[in-house]
């Protein structure tokens, strides 16, 4: 009797598989790839992700691909650090040249306004185009915006260039993840970690480089000209390394392709973010957060956010954020984790120079040197994690350990005092750098493990968007908390100080970092000591936020599914790349495989066989991987 059932299952499975293979119809959007691993089957353990979708890429070619993608990441990171409102040294010189101080907020906001929402749109659009062409066009667009910024005769032209660069950066990010999605998954940990390592180096070296160029006869414009050769090298490398890999959906009409981007949802998201950034620009600086203009923008942004979410729920898998991805446990948790982690990291990164230069009288140059432990520990931990993951396939331990290590550093930072030694805050820096490096790329890898095909770039840009949103919201709240706490402390000091010193003290809260340092040097020692205490207290108050955010992130990662990557080459060799999903079905018979075949044949939109199996969403069997020209060569 058992034998009869088994034969029946095998017969149904064979019929289903051949039915999928022989059909000439375009797969419907609701069809999903089914990769079922039967109990007791050889090749993978329960919970492992078989490497059945990608051809092996020669190491030389893989290194060149990684080099090109890292250069693209370097471009966006350098661009961000040059103009970031906190550490960006080129910003004062640009506003001085254009005599447009009222536009200073838009120099950075318009880039994010173009980048953040269109990352999601381009993540959908790239499924209709070959990744090579898409990346090259995005890089070219970024370079066009860079040239406009370098040659801008006015503030308006500069802002236009920033917007075009933001669109290019959005396309570069979506395109990079599309290429990464076609690389064998056991190779991705090292590729992703190198991508983040390059960005970490850029975030450290960028401000110093831009500051040196701004202060020299080359001026800030050369900072933008410098990006052109980097972009040219990246485009040239992609052109020669990757062969065209047309999308099977490339023949569809242009309107169908544009509709996949959810134009209404994109419009709502752009409007929501525009009002949000406007409120951040006004709040706490030009106007109080209680001002009608500020809370009006926040209210409008909130209403548009509700409308956007409602639209995405109504559109289900055809929206800007596919509902099956938003409901996927690992994807949702990793997005929340990235938002919290990004907020914590941005708060530490922005307020640490203020603490070092005002409380400990460390110069701006030496302050940069004192922050090197963050970058060095970040790079070291990232390299270590990627090496271990590549060898053993386990990424979840790093994802869970990272926030705990980061939390130690966050608590150390929050407990810093005026009398704290260098060993105290350097230990905190090493802790947050190591914790961030262990977890941030593991989170991005976890998202790719549970997704397949066209879902990979969409899910990846969802996580990047979450991190950027967390950074923007987190630093806005932290700066508001810092200013409010500092104003309260300075008011108490001013009340007990002479009139002249009182005016100087009260003006500190509205000054930039350099001006604040100069003002503190001008007041008498007794007042200066009290101001340092107030500054330390304000920073400590703001640093409560990253402690809470990191604690939340440490809890969220425990909900992420426990998967491992099959790191053996045999898994890739045993399964042909052009029939990855079907072959997996035929090789792994049994109850799960038969049930998955039934579900696929009946058009069921989602399949979940158990805690160890894949939670699949949205795609049919993959049509292959990025083609690498030339014969296979040994590394």
The sign one gets for the Cα dihedral 123, 128, 132, 133 is negative
- Render pLDDT for 556-570 as a digit per residue (tens, 0 to 9): 999 999 888 876 655
pLDDT in tens, 81-131: 676 544 455 666 777 778 766 676 677 778 888 888 888 888 888 888 888
Share of the chain above pLDDT 70, in %: 69
176-180, 342-346, 509-513: lowest mean pLDDT where? 509-513
Query: Do the beta carbons of residue 337 and residue 443 sit within 8 Å?
Result: yes
Give 306's pLDDT tier (boundaries 50, 70, 90). very high
Left, alpha or beta for 54 (phi > 0: left; psi -120 to 50: alpha)?
beta
Q: Enter the pTM of the model.
A: 0.73
Q: Is the pLDDT of residue 311 over 60?
A: yes
DSSP string across 420-432 = --HHHHHHHHHHH
Q: Is the pLDDT of residue 518 over 90?
A: no
Q: 53-244: what fold?
A: Growth Hormone; Chain: A; (1.20.1250)
395 closest CA partner among 563, 184, 555, 553 = 563
Radius of gyration of the chain, Cα coordinates, nearest whole angstrom: 26
pLDDT of residue 591: 41
Query: In angstroms, rounded to a whole number, what is the distance separating the alpha carbons of residues 23 and 26?
Result: 8
Lowest-confidence segment of 29-43, 371-385, 461-475, 540-554 by average pLDDT: 29-43
- The mean pLDDT of the chain is 74
pLDDT at 347 over 70: yes
Q: Residue range 199-222: average pLDDT?
A: 70
Q: How far apart are CA 123 and CA 320, in angstroms?
A: 9
The shares of helix, strand and coil residues in the chain, as percent rounded to the nearest 5, are 75, 0, 25
């Amino acid at each position: 009797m058992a034998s009869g059932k088994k034969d029946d299952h095998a017969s149904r499975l064979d019929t289903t598989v051949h039915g999928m293979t022989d059909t000439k119809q375009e797969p419907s959007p609701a069809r999903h790839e089914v990769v079922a691993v039967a109990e007791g089957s050889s090749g993978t353990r329960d919970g492992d992700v078989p490497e059945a979708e990608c051809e092996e890429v020669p190491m030389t070619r893989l290194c060149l691909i990684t080099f090109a993608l890292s250069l693209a990441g370097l471009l966006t990171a350098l661009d961000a650090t040059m103009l970031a409102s906190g550490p960006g040294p080129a910003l004062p010189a640009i506003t001085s040249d254009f005599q447009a101080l009222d536009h200073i907020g838009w120099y950075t906001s318009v880039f994010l306004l173009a980048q953040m929402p269109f990352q999601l749109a381009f993540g959908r659009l790239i499924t209709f185009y070959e990744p090579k062409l898409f990346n090259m066009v995005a890089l070219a667009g970024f370079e066009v915006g860079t040239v406009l910024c370098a040659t801008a005769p006015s503030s308006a032209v500069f802002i236009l260039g920033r917007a075009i660069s933001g669109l290019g950066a959005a396309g570069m990010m979506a395109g990079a993840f599309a290429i990464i999605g076609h690389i064998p998954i056991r190779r991705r940990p090292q590729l992703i970690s190198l991508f983040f390592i390059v960005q970490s180096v850029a975030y450290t070296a960028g401000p110093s480089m831009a500051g040196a160029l701004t202060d020299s006869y080359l001026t800030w414009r050369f900072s933008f000209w410098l990006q052109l050769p980097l972009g040219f090298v990246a485009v040239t490398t992609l052109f020669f390394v990757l062969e065209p890999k047309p999308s099977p959906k490339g023949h569809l009409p242009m309107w169908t392709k544009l509709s996949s981007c959810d134009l209404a949802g994109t419009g709502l998201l752009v409007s929501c973010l525009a009002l949000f950034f406007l409120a951040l620009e006004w709040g706490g600086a030009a106007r109080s957060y209680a001002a009608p203009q500020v809370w009006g923008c926040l209210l409008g942004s909130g209403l548009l956010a509700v409308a956007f979410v409602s639209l995405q729920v109504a559109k289900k898998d055809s929206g800007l954020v596919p509902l099956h991805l938003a409901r996927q446990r690992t994807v949702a948790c990793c997005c929340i984790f990235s938002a919290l982690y990004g907020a914590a990291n941005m708060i530490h990164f922005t307020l640490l120079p203020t603490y070092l230069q005002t409380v400990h009288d460390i110069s701006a140059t030496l302050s940069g040197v004192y922050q090197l432990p963050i970058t060095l520990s970040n790079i070291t931990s990232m390299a270590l994690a990627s090496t271990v993951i590549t060898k053993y396939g386990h990424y979840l331990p790093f994802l869970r350990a990272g926030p705990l290590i980061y939390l130690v550093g966050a608590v150390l930072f929050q407990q810093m005092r005026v009398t704290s030694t260098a060993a105290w805050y350097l230990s905190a820096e090493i802790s947050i750098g190591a914790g961030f490096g262990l977890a941030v790329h593991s989170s991005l890898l976890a998202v790719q493990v549970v997704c397949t095909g066209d879902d990979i770039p969409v899910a990846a840009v969802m996580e990047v968007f979450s991190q950027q949103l967390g950074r923007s919201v987190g630093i806005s709240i932290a700066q508001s908390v810092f200013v409010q706490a500092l104003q309260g402390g300075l008011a108490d000091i001013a009340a007990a100080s002479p009139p002249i010193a009182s005016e100087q003290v009260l003006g500190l809260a509205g000054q930039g970092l350099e001006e604040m340092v100069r003002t503190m040097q001008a007041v008498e020692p007794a007042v200066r000591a009290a101001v340092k205490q107030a500054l330390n207290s304000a920073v400590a108050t703001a640093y409560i936020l990253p402690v809470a955010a990191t604690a939340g992130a440490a809890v969220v990662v425990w909900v992420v599914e426990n998967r491992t990557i099959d790191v053996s080459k045999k898994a890739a060799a045993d399964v042909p790349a052009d029939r990855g999903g079907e072959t997996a079905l035929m090789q792994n018979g049994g109850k799960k495989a038969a049930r998955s075949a039934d579900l696929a044949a009946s058009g069921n939109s989602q399949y979940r066989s158990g805690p160890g199996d894949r939670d699949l969403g949205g795609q049919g069997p993959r049509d292959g991987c990025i083609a690498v020209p030339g014969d296979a060569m040994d590394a």
